[in-house]
């Protein structure tokens, strides 16, 4: 394994990425905060003793390589950086579609590959990629976002398959409805927020800490036999679609007393 206990998180300037950085530091990691938003990265790093600011675009191979030269080989890489460009597909521009693919999917590949080369030389490491519940169920007018998140889930398996022999575990976290980040404008509406909370079996929106804790578990030795997996951290919403559809009470009886739908006596 790498010599020092270190974790580098991309998209670490705010939201889930910043929370991962804070919890990782509390767990004893030396933390690298990488973000194209240098000012935001400096603000987050300023809250964490010894954190290293790495200003770079995950879609630029040279910038990522330079950031790794500065930080060194991370024991853990968290590919959290991501963007969304909303709009109906019929009206979506190719430029917007490509920009989301470049950051979300290609960026995850580039950062993962560059870090894995170093991890392999160091004897191993862990990579946690960030997908979304939208990788399993698309949302309206989300452009390329859902497609890239589904791609990240499969890329996670590809990475895990090929890099296990180097001692590198690769897993994925797929958040559900999170209170913060890209969903902040939606959750700011109290009516919409209440409706979204009611749709989640756990009865609340997820927090950035919920996601960060899952990431750190997958990065820990407690998950040593886990690789190539996607962990949905969604309060149960992706499994609950049928519970939101209307159904007659007559189908929910049990035993002999229950009337079988369509059967006459």
> In whole angstroms, what is the distance from residue 23 CA to residue 48 CA?
10
Count of other CB atoms within 10 angstroms of residue 183: 18
Selected catalytic residue, list 145, 150, 178, 230: 145
* Residues in CB range of 72: below 8 A, 6 or more apart: 4, 6
* Residues in CB range of 223: below 8 A, 6 or more apart: 169, 171, 217
Distances (CA, A) of 61 to 161, 189, 215: 23, 39, 24
> In whole angstroms, what is the distance from residue 116 CA to residue 127 CA?
8
> In whole angstroms, what is the distance from residue 245 CA to residue 17 CA?
35
Phi-psi region of 203 (alpha: psi -120 to 50; beta: other; left: phi over 0): left
Helix (H, G, I), strand (E, B) or coil at 142: strand
Report yes or no: 136 and 238 within 8 Å, Cβ to Cβ.
yes
145 is catalytic: yes
Distances (CA, A) of 75 to 65, 121, 250: 16, 12, 56
Active site residues: 145
């Amino acid at each position: 394994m790498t010599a020092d206990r270190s974790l580098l998180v991309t998209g670490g300037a705010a939201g889930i990425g910043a929370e991962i950085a804070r919890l990782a530091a509390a767990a004893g990691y030396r933390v690298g905060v990488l973000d194209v938003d240098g000012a935001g990265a400096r603000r987050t790093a300023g809250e964490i003793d010894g954190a290293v600011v790495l200003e770079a675009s995950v879609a630029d191979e040279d910038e990522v390589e330079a950031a790794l030269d500065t930080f060194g080989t991370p024991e853990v890489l968290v590919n959290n950086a991501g963007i969304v460009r909303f709009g109906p597909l019929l009206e979506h521009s190719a430029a917007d579609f490509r920009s989301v693919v470049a950051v979300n999917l290609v960026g995850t590949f580039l950062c993962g590959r560059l870090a894995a080369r170093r991890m392999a030389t160091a004897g191993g490491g862990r990579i946690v990629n960030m997908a979304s519940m939208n990788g399993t169920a698309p949302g309206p007018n989300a452009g390329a976002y859902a497609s890239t998140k589904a791609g990240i889930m499969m890329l996670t398996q590809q990475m895990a398959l090929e890099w296990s022999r180097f001692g590198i575990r690769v897993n994925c976290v797929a958040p559900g409805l999170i209170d913060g980040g890209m969903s902040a404008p939606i959750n700011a509406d109290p009516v919409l927020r209440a409706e979204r909370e009611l749709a989640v079996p756990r009865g609340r929106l997820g927090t950035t800490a919920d996601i960060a804790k899952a990431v750190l578990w997958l990065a820990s030795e407690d998950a040593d036999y886990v690789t190539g997996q996607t962990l949905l951290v969604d309060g149960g919403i992706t499994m609950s679609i049928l519970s939101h559809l209307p159904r007659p009470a007559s189908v929910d009886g049990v035993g002999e007393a229950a009337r079988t739908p369509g059967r006459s006596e």
